[in-house]
């Protein structure tokens, strides 16, 4: 069996690592150039943690993790609203939680697979044809190849999904927000693991990376879904956050490399069936939980692990059906959680801000953190079923 993985992000590289574990040959194509740095932070939770343990990578992820500590939330004028401590959440999760910069995560996975897996950078799928017995692929550099199976792991705006399953808009479920994230140098220490600011319809803040830089995350209520160029993105961020004080002010003045940063509609992807013929979708290409659930990377890793195990077990038809049957309930649950969290994460009124400032510190305190974690976190998936 020979498999093409379109997309060298967390989902694609984890799948490559899992296929390698089963002795299955695969090729990865990735649009970005090799060694691209920057980007934003991602979370690793129980399902991703369990996959990382099975791949023998959890030690490296822990060594590259961002620091856990206090989180401070202020209003847009800098007045304190509330605080909590990520270390409490860490204990509530049984110690199976960490935050890591996306490029560090990518580097670890890449080192793990690159000796055994061909990774073709700055390459995409230009054309694809499934004739029932195999899949003929033409790449962006003009070369052609044939594979037994093709996996679309090329993200929320998946080009491969559009080629095979239909237009992006057919599967898009906007949640009514936009978000942006990038990395910035710090002029002075944040004094906490996270410093955030909140206003009606707005949330923004910086996460300490631990190396003199911070990862930003800004989110605001916005029904529009069209894509914007670099100048348009700057204008929107200034419009919504330009009057906010430090540390937001410095973050907005920083240089932003949009090739390694994020700016897009906060939307879920809903595909009725994740496979068609010999082609299957994985991760954000198939479902996209959004950052609101905080479980996107971990669920993609679990999906990769399950898909590889099922492919090693039987025919692609049986494997695709079993993979979807095992993952779909978890994805459906976490998409519902994401939609629910959105209404709390972005306050809709001054009253909502006050209520959130009162309730969140209680929910995230030591007596209640485990209960809150159970309500909003993904349950552990049985990986070796």
The CATH number that applies at residue 50 is 3.50.50.60
Q: Is residue 19 assigned to a domain?
A: yes
385 domain-assigned = no
Residue 21 lies in a domain: yes
Domain that holds residue 272: 2-376
Q: Is residue 89 part of a domain?
A: yes
pLDDT given for residue 89 in this prediction = 85
Q: Mean pLDDT per segment of 10 residues, for the chain of length 385 residues? A: 96 98 97 78 94 97 94 92 90 89 94 95 97 98 98 96 96 95 91 94 94 94 91 95 94 90 94 98 96 91 98 96 97 92 85 86 79 76 88
Provide the pLDDT for residue 38.
Answer: 65
* CB distance 291 to 203 below 8 Å: no
Does the residue 383 lie in any domain? no
Whether 40 is in a domain gets the answer yes
Residue 382 located in a structural domain: no
- Any domain includes 293: yes
User: What pLDDT is recorded for position 91?
Assistant: 87
Q: What is the number of domains present in the chain?
A: 1
pLDDT of amino acid 375: 65
Looking at residue 57, its pLDDT comes to 98
């Amino acid at each position: 069996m020979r498999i093409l993985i379109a997309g060298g992000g967390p989902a694609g590289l984890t799948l490559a690592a899992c296929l390698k574990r089963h002795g299955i040959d695969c090729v990865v194509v990735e649009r970005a150039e090799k060694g691209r740095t920057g980007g934003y932070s991602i979370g690793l939770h129980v399902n991703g943690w369990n996959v990382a343990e099975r791949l023998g990578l959890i030690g490296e992820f822990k060594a590259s993790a961002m620091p856990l500590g206090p989180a401070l939330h202020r209003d847009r004028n800098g007045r304190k609203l509330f605080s909590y401590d990520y270390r409490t959440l860490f204990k509530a999760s049984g110690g199976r939680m960490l935050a890591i910069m996306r490029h560090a995560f990518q580097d670890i996975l890449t080192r793990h697979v690159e000796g055994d897996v061909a990774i073709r950078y700055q390459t995409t799928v230009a054309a694809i044809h499934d004739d029932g017995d195999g899949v003929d692929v033409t790449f962006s550099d003009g070369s052609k190849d044939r594979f037994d199976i093709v996996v679309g792991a090329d993200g929320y705006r998946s080009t491969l999904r559009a080629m095979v399953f239909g237009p992006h808009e057919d599967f898009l479920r906007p949640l009514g927000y936009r978000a942006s994230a990038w990395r910035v140098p710090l002029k002075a220490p944040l004094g906490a693991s996270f410093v955030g600011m909140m206003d009606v319809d707005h949330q923004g803040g910086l996460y300490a990376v631990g190396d003199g830089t911070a990862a930003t995350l800004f989110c605001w209520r916005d029904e529009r879904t069209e894509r914007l160029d670099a100048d348009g993105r700057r204008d929107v961020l200034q419009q919504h956050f330009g009057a906010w004080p430090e540390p937001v002010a410095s973050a907005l003045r920083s240089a932003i490399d949009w090739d390694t940063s994020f700016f897009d509609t906060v939307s879920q992807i809903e595909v009725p069936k994740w496979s068609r013929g010999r082609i299957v979708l994985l991760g954000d290409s198939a479902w996209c939980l959004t950052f609101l659930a905080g479980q996107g990377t971990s669920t993609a890793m679990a999906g990769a692990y399950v898909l590889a195990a099922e492919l090693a077990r039987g025919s692609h038809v049986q494997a695709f059906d079993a993979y979807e049957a095992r993952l779909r309930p978890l994805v459906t649950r976490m998409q519902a959680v994401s939609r629910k969290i959105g209404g709390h994460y972005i306050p809709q009124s001054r009253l909502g801000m006050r209520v959130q400032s009162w309730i969140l510190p209680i929910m995230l305190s030591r007596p209640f953190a485990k209960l809150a974690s159970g309500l909003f976190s993904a349950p552990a998936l049985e990986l070796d079923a």
